[in-house]
Amino acid sequence: MPPLSTPPRQGSPSPSACACSSSPRQALPPHLQQRIATHPCYSEAAHHHYARMHVAVAPACNIQCNYCNRKFDCANESRPGVVSELLTPAEAAHKVLVIAGKIPQLTVVGIAGPGDPLANPKQTFETFARIAEKAPDLKLCLSTNGLMLPDYIDEIKRLNIDHVTLTINMVDPEIGAKIYPWIRWRRKRIRGVEAARILHERQMESLDLLREADILCKVNSVLIPGINDTHLLEVNRVIQEKGAFLHNIMPLISAPEHGTYFGLIGQRGPTPQELKALQDRCSGNMRMMRHCRQCRADAVGLLGEDRSQEFTKERFMQMTPEYDPEKRRQVQASIAQLQAQQQSTPTHWTADLPPDSPSILVAVASKGGGLVNRHFGHAREFLIYEVNARGAQFVGHRKVPQYCHGGSGEDNNLEQILDLIRDCRAVLVSKIGDCPMKRIREAGIEVVEDYDLIETVALKFYRTWLVNQTLDSKSSRS
Ligand code: CLF
Ligand code: SF4
């Protein structure tokens, strides 16, 4: 092995240079790169920089999922247990203009509930039409169970909705019957396998129609251990064949207090390791989204931050929109410039290491910008990166309880955090207090304090870690 003390030349492209860091690794053609470059869900690289918002204009649903209780938000695209304020299309358009002025890096407006947008077509399409008229630089994004999509494909095309998410949890109606007790179809309630069969057929037709219309389709699948865990490999195969752009396998969220059927019967969700294992198995076939935050139907901001409480109806209705397309264009141009700089930085740290060096996981505290820039005590989630001699790749995130409250640390929360990141070799933070640092190190996890690009900090750490491993194994042999 060559000496490891100084890194060789700079300038090799970062592994995150492709628009979505997930596999497959071949670069996207430029026209597709451009379509997703500022969409925080379709592009992992974009999610560090660009924001989205949802407008909750769609209360009704036409199916029942066993993981959903609609007195709360839609579990497909939201965090259950948090109630949304419903908006009219006019209120929603006003809110979008207010927020697009205050958050110029906002690039996408989605309708994701709290029910199904296409079970509320009038509100959904009127809202999109108002936004398209007043703020044409915003991308429109729709998330649906797909039951009614074939009826509305022409309207979706007419409004230039370029991104559509379908939630597909099965391609076998027998399995579907364990997830969906009923659907409402042509004014009738249909139950059991027949209901799942109709839903499945409509979802397959939706995939075909979206592909023919050249609309970028992401498929969300909820991983339900014991019900569709192994079956999702088949779902992955089918959606890839039908031209879906991206697959987002999300963990079932189920707790008794959410009042869902699965929550009440004690159906568990997957562990982070089970989720990652399935995503890894699917990632050879198609692009996988691993940065989904299962956001609420009125989410605002970067993925992973929730600014919705700054924009309650009472507040935003009193605000005057300051939507300024030129200012937004300038801010977004400077973000693109920053991203370009970031994409040509740090693999020199590991370029001289053996390519088959082992992979490790590290946990990163970040508040966006692709940087290690959050204090340990303020983190509510850690980004998980897999690091090896080939680079540092985002592979997921873990929600954690915040350690620091009102200037003092919560020991219980620290223990929970440790449980959640125990498989990581290091935690990368911009700052941390002596007490939590000591406890984390006692648990066998290294702590790195730095303020720099995530990839740079991760690869620098990896290099040191590998040197120490090599030295340890030499000294144990001598
Ligand atoms: Fe919203 Fe969904 Fe559009 Fe994104 S969310 S409608 S595609 S703009 Fe994104 Fe949120 Fe995950 Fe959805 S992180 S829940 S995937
Ligand atoms: Fe709930 Fe969405 Fe399922 Fe409808 S489609 S039941 S709103 S999770």
- Measured in degrees and rounded to the nearest 5, phi and psi for residue 164 equal -130, 130
For the chain, which ranges sit under pLDDT 50?
A: 1-25, 75-83
Q: Is 112 in the pocket of ligand 1 (CB under 6 A)?
A: yes
pLDDT attached to residue 320: 93
pLDDT attached to residue 476: 65
Who's near 375: CB < 8 A, 6+ residues apart? 365, 404, 429, 430, 431, 432
Q: Which ligand is nearest to the CA of 251?
A: 1
Nearest to 116 by CA among 77, 80, 160: 77
Other CB atoms closer than 10 Å to residue 59's CB: what's the count? 17
Q: Which protein residue has the closest C-alpha to ligand 1 atom 12?
A: 77
pLDDT attached to residue 71: 62
Q: For the purposes of burial, counting CB atoms within 10 Å of the CB of 469, is it exposed (0-12), middle (13-18) or buried (19 or more)? A: middle
CA of 149 to the centre of ligand 2 (A): 15
pLDDT attached to residue 337: 86
Q: CB–CB of 152/122 below 8 Å?
A: no
Q: CB–CB of 248/221 below 8 Å?
A: yes
Q: CB–CB of 461/448 below 8 Å?
A: yes
Q: Which H helix or E strand runs over 436? A: helix 434-442
Q: Is 116 in the pocket of ligand 2 (CB under 6 A)?
A: yes
Beta bridge partners of 182: 64, 191
User: pTM score, two decimals?
Assistant: 0.85
22, 77, 399: residue to mutate for ligand 1 pocket, most atoms within 8 A of CB: 77
Q: Which protein residue has the closest C-alpha to ligand 2 atom 7?
A: 115
Q: Is 110 in the pocket of ligand 1 (CB under 6 A)?
A: yes
Q: Which ligand is nearest to the CA of 64?
A: 2
Pairing of strands 246-251, 216-223: parallel
Q: Which protein residue has the closest C-alpha to ligand 1 atom 10?
A: 295
pLDDT digits 0-9 by tens, 70-93? 765 554 444 433 446 899 999 999
Work out whether the CA dihedral 57, 60, 65, 67 comes out positive or negative.
positive
Nearest ligand 1 atom, CA 303: 13
Q: Which protein residue has the closest C-alpha to ligand 2 atom 2?
A: 74
pLDDT attached to residue 327: 94
Nearest ligand 2 atom, CA 114: 7
Q: Which protein residue has the closest C-alpha to ligand 1 atom 2?
A: 143
Angle at 373 between CA 369 and CA 374, to 5 degrees: 120
79, 140, 220, 295: residue to mutate for ligand 1 pocket, most atoms within 8 A of CB: 295
Q: Is 69 in the pocket of ligand 2 (CB under 6 A)?
A: no
Q: Is 52 in the pocket of ligand 1 (CB under 6 A)?
A: yes
DSSP annotation string for 282-330: HTTTS-EE-------TT-EESTT---GGGG-HHHHTTSPP---HHHHHH
3-state secondary structure 77-116: CCCCCCCCCCCCHHHHHHHHHHHHHHCCCEEEEEECCECC
Other CB atoms closer than 10 Å to residue 160's CB: what's the count? 12
Q: Distance between CA 413 and CA 427 in Å, rounded?
A: 16
**Omega before 24 cis (within 30°)?**
yes
pLDDT digits 0-9 by tens, 213-247? 999 999 999 999 999 999 999 999 999 999 999 99
CA of 57 to the centre of ligand 1 (A): 16
CA of 98 to the centre of ligand 2 (A): 28
DSSP annotation string for 354-383: -TTPPPEEEEE---STTB---BGGG-SEEE
pLDDT attached to residue 84: 61
Angstrom CA distances, 374 to 23, 316, 346, 363, 390, stand at 28, 28, 20, 12, 26
3-state secondary structure 56-77: CCECCCCEECCCCCCCCCCCCC
Q: Distance between CA 412 and CA 459 in Å, rounded?
A: 31
